[in-house]
Amino acid sequence: MGRPSSRTAVDLSSISKILNDSTDGHKKEGIVLSPTSQIEDASCVYSSSWDSMASGSALQSFLDHISIDPITNFLNTSVLELKHDDCIQDAIRSLYERNVFGAPIVNSVSSDRGNFIDRDIGFIEFSSMVLWSLEEFDKASAESKSDSHGFLLMLELISQIGQTKVGELAKFFLWEPFFPASPGDSLLRVLLLFSKHRRLKVVPVVESSNSCVVSFITQNALLQLLLQSSGLDWFDQIADMPISDFGFEKNRALVCIFADQTVADALHILWENHSDAVPVIGRVTKTLIGFVRSSDIYLLLEDDELYQNRKSFKVGDFIKSYTRRTIQNSDSSINEECSTLVPSSTPPLLLKNNLLPPMDTPTTNLSSDSLKQVMQDMLESKSECSFLVTESGQLQSVITLRDIMSKFSPPSMDATIDGGGFFQSALEQSGCHVEDGVMVRNKH
């Protein structure tokens, strides 16, 4: 990972003033935020008064004039990439040793369809490969003692799992999509990508000259930039509404786990539901006592005893003991370095992120809180979700960063991924295709 550049200040109020001054229907100067925070001239035509625009349209037009450059100022000197034919044993070890939670998948097979499409065919997370391996270990447990060694050693011993190619995993689950942005793209474009594609976790920033990934935009970094619109009418009309008005609890069925269930149960739920976190509640009280995240899975590699006992270790005890252990063993040098950085400049793909909330301290909100309050709480805690609870602490729902971003983006965009574009080459090589949004293996 490279060193971040200095913090970029973004004065969104100045943009708002310029746009609101463009009310005479004539050609006006648009603005583009450069990495040096200077407002540069660009020609742009506004055909109607901003005052007469609906708040949603005004917000979208406003966001379309904000460059993503301020949140791409952390440029990686070298981005870890995984090849299509790398085995997952090596891929997991590489990500773990480099302390990176995910990497672009590079297609090593040459073709005539263009370097950009052929080069980057997906994005895969450390947790996805580990969870898939755990599921496969359980299937193989009848034939071998898959819990008698540590996780990494088991990958070596069970070669049909450890030697599986990264590209072959497309037969079992779709990788995270690879939808890149370019330096200078607008905040609205990246916001649309995040809000419309459920499995998109990070947006790679690609240098157009060589199609290489030079940085990543996380949902949390985008949230930070979006919150700088606070105080502007078209933002506040949405953000000041109470959570109860949005109906987040209707978006999905809330899957939780009781504290007396096992760590293996929690890991299976993470895999089966493709979720980033599973809340843990008391069986009797139904109150929220903590959560297990996909970002906590690296602990299985650090503690062989945890891996071996995952099917008997109660998840409530896991939260208590490993919260204390991770705090005690946290790398102070990493914490000190990261604490001096603004959220958008923190290394975006950090696997062992000691700045995340402890497992026993999830971010929570009440239904009476405003959407803006939820955004501020999630940004402060660097969380990817907030749990909606009652006054007595009983769990009601969960709000994700994607849920929030969807409230600030046009509803008419088609979010269907049909397997084309970046996925087409990978799926063909893996012997499968997509029909009606469902992955299907080709018949041989």
Report which of residues 429 and 353 the model is more confident about.
Answer: 353
Residue-level pLDDT at 444: 53
Q: What is the DSSP letter of 31?
A: E
Give the pair of three-digit tokens for residue 295.
């970002």
Residue-level pLDDT at 42: 28
Residue-level pLDDT at 148: 75
Residue-level pLDDT at 440: 63
Answer for the pair 273, 398: CB distance below 8 angstroms, yes or no. Answer: no
Residues forming beta bridges with residue 367, ordered by sequence position: none
Q: Using the Cα atoms of residue 237, residue 243, residue 245 and residue 246 in order, give the sign of their dihedral.
A: positive
Give the pair of three-digit tokens for residue 421.
């574009």
Report which of residues 301 and 119 the model is more confident about.
Answer: 301
Residue-level pLDDT at 166: 92
> Is residue 412 pLDDT above 70, yes or no?
no
What's the pLDDT tens digit per position in 130-147?
999 999 998 876 555 556
> Is residue 260 pLDDT above 80, yes or no?
yes
Residue-level pLDDT at 78: 63
> Is residue 272 pLDDT above 80, yes or no?
yes
> Is residue 58 pLDDT above 70, yes or no?
no
Distances (CA, A) of 34 to 8, 11, 68: 9, 12, 9
User: Average of pLDDT values for 367-396?
Assistant: 94
Cβ partners under 8 Å of residue 184, min gap 6: 32, 67, 68, 69
- Sorting pLDDT into bands at 50, 70 and 90, what band is 235? confident
User: Average of pLDDT values for 250-273?
Assistant: 90
Cβ partners under 8 Å of residue 209, min gap 6: none
Least confident of 251-255, 295-299, 344-348: 344-348
Residue-level pLDDT at 62: 74
- Sorting pLDDT into bands at 50, 70 and 90, what band is 390? very high
Residue-level pLDDT at 443: 64
- Give one DSSP letter per residue of 225-241, joined into a string: HHHTTTTSHHHHHHHTS
Residue-level pLDDT at 432: 60
User: Average of pLDDT values for 45-53?
Assistant: 36
State the Cα torsion 358-359-360-366 to the nearest 10°.
90
> Is residue 111 pLDDT above 70, yes or no?
no
Q: Say how far apart CA 425 and CA 355 lie, in whole Å.
A: 38
Distances (CA, A) of 156 to 103, 127, 148, 263, 300: 22, 18, 13, 23, 16
Task: Find which of 3-17, 53-67, 144-158, 268-282 is predicted with most confidence, using mean pLDDT.
Answer: 268-282
- Sorting pLDDT into bands at 50, 70 and 90, what band is 275? confident
What's the pLDDT tens digit per position in 2-38?
333 333 344 555 555 544 554 443 333 333 333 333 3
